[in-house]
Structure 1
Amino acid sequence: MDQSIVNIKPFAYAFSLISGKWKMHILFWLWKKEVMRYGQLKKALNGVTHKVLSVQLKELESDGIISRKEYPQVPPKVEYALTEKGLSLMPVLQALCTWGENELKK
């Protein structure tokens, strides 16, 4: 491939949406479970702090990758799920999983 015709802008945009230590992990779990509450995500992401998880969820929501649904009850109930835009990223995530699986077999 001719390196001189590579456009960095689409890559930079896509990477900006998923960069962050936990974003791909969040997307993975929402892909597998479809809908998760905050506490379920925190438990699945063993080692993530409340602040980091909260910030990364807000960024993913702001970018239209995930949706946040809050139920008016006590205690508060909040659920997260992938949006259509987020679901459109899943073939990329699947390709990464396949690559990782193949590499682990070596």
Structure 2
Amino acid sequence: EEAAEHLAREELERCQDTENAHGEAAMLLCLAELRCSRGAGSCEEALQMGIEAQEIFQQLEDQAMEASALLALTRVYATQRNGKEAMRAAGDAIILFRGLGDQEGEVRAL
């Protein structure tokens, strides 16, 4: 896990240096998921990274990745025991997945 996080941080820096917004958001999402998997103590940083990733994907109009970021945020909020925000993020993900015709994504968000 630490090696994966180290690699993701290096790639995040590389994406930021080259102004690769999509890559930056993908690495933020990866780091958010890694942080969340460590438990509640690491969730605040995971939350910030997940929100930033979701916002970048939204700006890039990449609805599939935005929905994936919302799923990650759902897990972060659930780990933090914030049911209201977890439900909101999951609902937003469902709307995006439905708009994309992605039934598997919808099921994952339920």
Same fold, judged at TM 0.5 (above)? no
> Normalization by structure 2: what TM-score?
0.29
Question: Which of these two proteins has the greater Rg computed from alpha carbons?
Answer: 1
> Normalization by structure 1: what TM-score?
0.30
Higher strand share: 1
- Report 1 or 2 for greater relative contact order, CA contacts < 8 Å, sequence distance ≥ 6: 1
